[in-house]
Amino acid sequence: MAKDHFVSQIADIETDFPQWYTDVVVKTKLVDYGPVKGTMVIRPYGYAIWENIQRELDARFQAAGVENAYFPLLIPMSFMTKEAEHVEGFAPEVAVVTHAGGAKLEEPLVVRPTSETVIGHMYGKWVESWRDLPLRMNQWCNVMRWEKTTRPFLRTSEFLWQEGHSVFAEAAEAEEETLNMLALYKEFAKTVLCMPVLTGRKTEKEKFAGAVATYGMEAMMHDGKSLQSGTTHFMGQNFAKAFGVQFTDKDGTLKYGYTMSYGVSTRLIGAIIMTHGDARGLILPPPVAPVQVVIVPIAQKKEGVLEACKALEGKLKAAGVRVRLDDSDNSPGWKFNEWEMKGVPLRIELGPRDIESGKLTLFRRDTCEKEERPLAGAEESVANLLHEISEHLYLKAEKRMRERIVPANTLEELLAGVDGNFVRAGWCGERACEDRVKEFAQATARVMDGVHDTKTCVCCGKPAKHTVFFARAY
Amino acid sequence: MAKDHFVSQIADIETDFPQWYTDVVVKTKLVDYGPVKGTMVIRPYGYAIWENIQRELDARFQAAGVENAYFPLLIPMSFMTKEAEHVEGFAPEVAVVTHAGGAKLEEPLVVRPTSETVIGHMYGKWVESWRDLPLRMNQWCNVMRWEKTTRPFLRTSEFLWQEGHSVFAEAAEAEEETLNMLALYKEFAKTVLCMPVLTGRKTEKEKFAGAVATYGMEAMMHDGKSLQSGTTHFMGQNFAKAFGVQFTDKDGTLKYGYTMSYGVSTRLIGAIIMTHGDARGLILPPPVAPVQVVIVPIAQKKEGVLEACKALEGKLKAAGVRVRLDDSDNSPGWKFNEWEMKGVPLRIELGPRDIESGKLTLFRRDTCEKEERPLAGAEESVANLLHEISEHLYLKAEKRMRERIVPANTLEELLAGVDGNFVRAGWCGERACEDRVKEFAQATARVMDGVHDTKTCVCCGKPAKHTVFFARAY
């Protein structure tokens, strides 16, 4: 009864995935809608996921020698126009401050949609000599892009992200960093989000406004659509020239630096939800789950039950597990459904009979199967199971993605295959063909595969210059 | 020579404290000026201090059961006007977004100067029953207040802060939380910033726009002026009524909640600088110093020196010390001055003779004295010294503050005493007298002392209702 009650709160994942997503993010209290159209409020359960993402990713940046800093939110409108492609890409979606302190401003100020311009300006002040290079900084902040259609985590007017910006003396160094950060993201997605991704270079059409080359990582969601989950950009000297990022080299000559940037955002929370979730709701990867283990007492009013649960909670906490004891007045069945919907990776059920026989019952959210383990040494069982769950989640998603990459030699094949799949196909490199694929199959070039083995363009039939993953995307 | 060179870069702390401050924050690369007037760029060395502050404070909030969340940056203008005093206080200094996505907005949006309104709105949606209370959330974010005169960290258009917001069923609970958070701040200031503060209630004139009562902590800077370093506010039902934060109580009746809020900001970095700094530059408290120990090799080209320094660095790092080995090509003297200006609490000098005799030389930045300790067991010596430095910094600042609190019975005495001191004096409670003190002595009521032992108002001579600390303030 209670279970039906819960499941009925969420739309069916197979037949109405968009509604399932909306139901899940709101009902598990990850997020709510802000009063201004297109904005979101990240509630504690959702924000805790973001904090775990931040901690894990930040540790990787620190290990790589990147330093955190903070640059201003407001950017002079004139900065945006200094890089021609950049303003064309971002101007249509910026929010603009025109008044402040009770007066009209002399120059309108843009709420940062990304910070290449203002960071370029500061790097221009700071960089003087080759000794100052490389300069590698990152900031965790909010950004704003005025979007027409929005969806919590996936596309909102304001979102949280990190943006890393580096400047190097040599083009090769900046290109290397662009690929290194892409590899860092991919490892992070695998290890922390348990999410497989395809990585590769973006086409000219899909690249960042102002970049020489953009690389992306794309993840396959439950419905087979693609979600761009992170990007890295090699800027060449575009921004260095626009903002005067110049240095005196060892030979005494004045040269422009080469810049690059990279970012991931709260969109990753959406990626996790749509990669791992099932009919019952969320399935959160253990490394980012705010609650990794929930303890549900059975017959909790019986003598000794709550005490045993609290002792177990203390042991797991001491072992570094994010554990919650649910000793509320709700029935065990109610609690099971609540925490299943909220995607807690592991549930421990502990009642009088378990205590008597010195065992506990473990429910794995990923397989929805129960196992029994000895109560003694529970910390070890839990650690092992959390690890197993992480691996299983990754492998399951990886298998799905592998099975759903289909080839196509013609537009018709591409259209037939693209619903629920990534289509791997040859491309001549012409924008016209890319546009035609979009028009014909509502699919876009997600990334180009590093392995190029296709012969002809899926659209025009001419020799293929690249092998591309085409997909419908969020 | 090198030393003179460095000291000459900084204005004299005794004769030109404002210029000393500007020199120090810019030359130690804590901060730089942003392109938009009144904004700052927090550079890695400054941002690392903020990250340490965040980590320490956030751990205290978590231990107190407060949950982190994130609320939108942009607030509908109409929200600001829902609480009459609030709009009066904040409207003059807000930045306003009037255009977004290429079009004029129907309603202007305010860049949050503080989030009582938008959080009140969300709490109004979320709170239904007494079971939902208390609700206690915090967010780490940027806020914007358009200020006419600005100064890095102390007063900038945009700054970073945390703002905690709670709603309770009972007034007494909200008042208790207001005082608890004040006590939490005071302990944090003492333990982490090594900074003594006076805490107490603010006068009506000085309270937060929309609060029933504001409490503050005030710290005495090097020049004897006061810096408001944190505030907590009891809102009564003002915001609950403005935003419909209502709950059904146990007895079935619908009631308004009681709210409170509290915040500290990047201003604390300015507080540290102006509390502990000296003629040579920064002195950073060990708990927040980005680099707690710098190792300077002596005769570093001699065989074995760098190896010994690296081994020591590894040992200290393993012991959890934030240590940096400066093996750059600069001379030891140059390095001494550089790291002294940057306020690193402890310097280790290690050269061939030290290695031979199995000892190391430790320079304490707080006393500017050198000590010798055995090389074996350096981790313990360092841990002890860092602890001693923290204690000494606090006691030194505490002694200064204690010695510089002077009494006054008349306006003339207040004027004579207030230059470089806090003046403790009686006050009748009338706004006219408070205004007169400001006019006569350019001093404001910082906080009211919990101990009320003064007899007459320093201004009008009528019976004193409160005992107030008056001071000139940043």
Among B248, B276, B304, the domain boundary falls at B276
B393-407: pLDDT as tens digits: 999 999 999 999 999
CATH of the domain at A423: 3.30.110.30
What 8-state DSSP symbol labels residue B112?
P
At B6 the pLDDT is: 52
- Smallest Cβ–Cβ distance between A36 and the set B34, B109, B125 belongs to B109
Domain presence at residue B284? no
At A8 the pLDDT is: 61
User: Angle A267-276/A17-27 helices, nearest 10 degrees?
Assistant: 120
Judged against a pLDDT cut of 70, whether residue A409 lies above it is answered with: yes
At A175 the pLDDT is: 98
CB contact under 8 Å between A101 and B92, yes or no, is yes
CB contact under 8 Å between B36 and A75, yes or no, is yes
- Smallest Cβ–Cβ distance between A44 and the set B50, B67, B94 belongs to B67
- Smallest Cβ–Cβ distance between B72 and the set A75, A148, A158 belongs to A158
**Residues contacting B442, CB < 8 A, separation 6+:** B418, B472
Q: Which residue has the tokens 């919907």?
A: A341
Domain presence at residue B125? yes
**Residues contacting A243, CB < 8 A, separation 6+:** A82, A117, A120, A121, A123, A124
C-alpha separations of B454 from A185, B409, B447 in Å: 64, 9, 15
C-alpha separations of A74 from A19, A111, A112, A320, A430 in Å: 36, 5, 6, 40, 38
What's at B406, amino acid-wise?
Answer: V
A91-128: pLDDT as tens digits: 899 999 999 999 999 999 999 999 999 999 999 999 99
When pLDDT is cut at 50, 70 and 90, the band that residue B1 belongs to is very low
What is the mean pLDDT of the segment spanning B122-129?
Answer: 98
Domain presence at residue B394? no
Distance CA A48, CA A40 (A): 15
**Which domain covers residue A160, as residue numbers?**
2-276
Domain presence at residue A342? yes
CB contact under 8 Å between B101 and A35, yes or no, is no
Neighbours of A302 (CB within 10 A): 13
What token pair was written down for B320? Answer: 């959890």
pTM of structure: 0.97
What is the mean pLDDT of the segment spanning B334-359?
Answer: 96
At A2 the pLDDT is: 42
What's at A237, amino acid-wise?
Answer: Q
At B207 the pLDDT is: 96
C-alpha separations of B363 from A197, B116, B307, B315, B321 in Å: 51, 47, 21, 19, 16
DSSP string, B350-388: E-HHHHHHTEEEEEETTTTEEEEEESTTHHHHHHHHHHH
A87 has a chain B CB within 8 A of its CB: no
Per CB-CB distance under 8 Å, the chain B contacts of A44 are 67-69, 137
Judged against a pLDDT cut of 50, whether residue B216 lies above it is answered with: yes
Residue A154 Cα to chain centre, angstroms: 9
The answer to whether A470 and A444 have CB atoms below 8 angstroms apart is yes
Among B340, B355, B389, the domain boundary falls at B389
B72 has a chain A CB within 8 A of its CB: yes
CATH of the domain at A158: 3.30.930.10
- Smallest Cβ–Cβ distance between B51 and the set A43, A68, A94 belongs to A68
B42 has a chain A CB within 8 A of its CB: yes
A304: helix, strand or coil: coil
A381: helix, strand or coil: helix
Mean confidence (pLDDT) of chain A: 96
Distance CA A470, CA B143 (A): 41
B40 has a chain A CB within 8 A of its CB: yes
What is the mean pLDDT of the segment spanning B226-236?
Answer: 98
A148 has a chain B CB within 8 A of its CB: yes
> Nearest 10 degrees: CA dihedral of A392, A397, A401, A404?
100
User: Angle A44-63/A267-276 helices, nearest 10 degrees?
Assistant: 110
The answer to whether A104 and A224 have CB atoms below 8 angstroms apart is no
Pair A70, A208 in one domain: yes
What token pair was written down for A234? Answer: 């090699």
What token pair was written down for B460? Answer: 């009008």
Judged against a pLDDT cut of 80, whether residue B316 lies above it is answered with: yes
Domain presence at residue A399? no
What is the mean pLDDT of the segment spanning B127-149?
Answer: 97
Q: Which residue intervals of B226-288 are DSSP H helices?
A: 238-243, 267-276
Pair A169, A203 in one domain: yes
| Interface test with chain B among A74, A162, A269, by most B beta carbons within 10 Å | A74
Find the angle CA(A202)-CA(A205)-CA(A208) to the nearest 5 degrees: 65
Per CB-CB distance under 8 Å, the chain B contacts of A48 are 67-68
CB contact under 8 Å between B72 and A32, yes or no, is no
Residue B305 Cα, gap to closest chain A Cα (Å)? 25
Pair A128, A227 in one domain: yes
Judged against a pLDDT cut of 70, whether residue B305 lies above it is answered with: yes
What is the mean pLDDT of the segment spanning A13-29?
Answer: 97
Pair A265, A299 in one domain: no
* Residue of chain A whose alpha carbon sits nearest to that of B51: A68
What's at B427, amino acid-wise?
Answer: W
CB contact under 8 Å between B96 and A95, yes or no, is no
A54 has a chain B CB within 8 A of its CB: no
Q: How far apart are the first and last CA of chain A?
A: 35
When pLDDT is cut at 50, 70 and 90, the band that residue B9 belongs to is confident
Pair A326, A441 in one domain: no
Domain presence at residue B282? no
Distance CA A404, CA A302 (A): 51
Residue A237 Cα to chain centre, angstroms: 28
| Beta bridge partner(s), residue A407 | A424
What is the mean pLDDT of the segment spanning B107-126?
Answer: 98
The answer to whether B443 and B458 have CB atoms below 8 angstroms apart is no
Per CB-CB distance under 8 Å, the chain B contacts of A161 are none
Pair B420, B350 in one domain: no
CB contact under 8 Å between B158 and A93, yes or no, is no
Domain presence at residue A286? no
A182 has a chain B CB within 8 A of its CB: no
At B179 the pLDDT is: 98
What's at A464, amino acid-wise?
Answer: A
At B7 the pLDDT is: 53
Domain presence at residue A77? yes
What's at B81, amino acid-wise?
Answer: T
A169-225: pLDDT as tens digits: 999 999 999 999 999 999 999 999 999 999 999 999 999 999 999 999 999 999 999
Per CB-CB distance under 8 Å, the chain B contacts of A157 are 74, 100
Pair B379, B427 in one domain: no
CB contact under 8 Å between A100 and B100, yes or no, is no
- Smallest Cβ–Cβ distance between B96 and the set A50, A91, A99 belongs to A99
Residue A401 Cα, gap to closest chain B Cα (Å)? 33
What is the mean pLDDT of the segment spanning B5-21?
Answer: 86
Per CB-CB distance under 8 Å, the chain B contacts of A144 are 73-74
Mean confidence (pLDDT) of chain B: 96
CATH of the domain at B305: 3.40.50.800
Task: Please state the domain count of chain B.
Answer: 3
Judged against a pLDDT cut of 50, whether residue A1 lies above it is answered with: no
Pair A338, A238 in one domain: no
Distance CA B143, CA B210 (A): 18
What is the mean pLDDT of the segment spanning B67-76?
Answer: 98
Pair B37, B186 in one domain: yes
Among A356, A386, A416, the domain boundary falls at A386
A5 has a chain B CB within 8 A of its CB: no
| Beta bridge partner(s), residue B325 | B295
Per CB-CB distance under 8 Å, the chain B contacts of A102 are 91-93, 146
When pLDDT is cut at 50, 70 and 90, the band that residue A229 belongs to is very high
Pair B356, B467 in one domain: no
Judged against a pLDDT cut of 90, whether residue B3 lies above it is answered with: no
Pair A100, A225 in one domain: yes
When pLDDT is cut at 50, 70 and 90, the band that residue A7 belongs to is low
Residue B298 Cα, gap to closest chain A Cα (Å)? 23
* Residue of chain A whose alpha carbon sits nearest to that of B39: A72
A26 has a chain B CB within 8 A of its CB: no
Pair A173, A300 in one domain: no
